[in-house]
Amino acid sequence: MSLSLDVAPYTLRPLCTGDGAAVHRLVNDWSVVRMLSHLPFPYPRELADQWILSTIDRQTAGTAWHFAICEGEMLIGCIGLSLGHPNQGAKIGYWVGRPYWQKGVATACVRPVVEWAFETLPISRILADVADDNLASIALLEKMDFQRSGTTHVPFLSRGPDPYPVLTYCRERDTSMDTTRTDKAASRILLVVAGVLIDGEGRILLAQRPPGKPLAGLWEFPGGKVEPHEAPEQALIREMHEELGIDIASGCLAPFTFVSENIGSRHLLMPLYVCRRWRGQPVGKEGQALAWVTADQLDAYPMPAPDRPLIPLLKELILG
Interface contacts to ligand 8DG, rule CB under 6 A: 192, 194, 214-215, 220-221, 223-225, 268, 304, 306-307
Report the residue number, 32 or 206, with the smaller CB distance to ligand 8DG: 206
For the bound state, the minimum distance from the C-beta of residue 60 to ligand 8DG, rounded and expressed in Å, comes to 17
In DSSP notation, 255-303 reads EEEEEEEEETTEEEEEEEEEE---BS----TTS--EEEE-GGGGGGS--
Tell me, letter by letter, the H, E, C secondary structure of 36-102.
CCCCCCCCCHHHHHHHHHHHHHHHHHCCEEEEEEEECCEEEEEEEEEEEECCCEEEEEEEECHHHCC
The vertex-239 CA angle with 237 and 242, nearest 5°, equals 110
For the bound state, the minimum distance from the C-beta of residue 207 to ligand 8DG, rounded and expressed in Å, comes to 8
Report the residue number whose CB is nearest to ligand 8DG. 224
Report the residue number, 61 or 135, with the smaller CB distance to ligand 8DG: 61
Strands 89-96 and 125-131: parallel
Report the residue number, 282 or 304, with the smaller CB distance to ligand 8DG: 304
For the bound state, the minimum distance from the C-beta of residue 304 to ligand 8DG, rounded and expressed in Å, comes to 3
E strand or H helix that includes residue 117? helix 105-120
Report the residue number, 156 or 221, with the smaller CB distance to ligand 8DG: 221
Task: Check: CB of residue 23 under 8 Å from CB of residue 48.
Answer: yes
For the bound state, the minimum distance from the C-beta of residue 101 to ligand 8DG, rounded and expressed in Å, comes to 37
Q: How many CB atoms lie under 10 A from the CB of residue 232?
A: 21
Report the residue number, 19 or 220, with the smaller CB distance to ligand 8DG: 220
For the bound state, the minimum distance from the C-beta of residue 116 to ligand 8DG, rounded and expressed in Å, comes to 14
Report the residue number, 20 or 232, with the smaller CB distance to ligand 8DG: 232
Single-letter residue type at 77: G
d(CA 28, CA 48): 10
Q: How many CB atoms lie under 10 A from the CB of residue 202?
A: 13
For the bound state, the minimum distance from the C-beta of residue 268 to ligand 8DG, rounded and expressed in Å, comes to 6
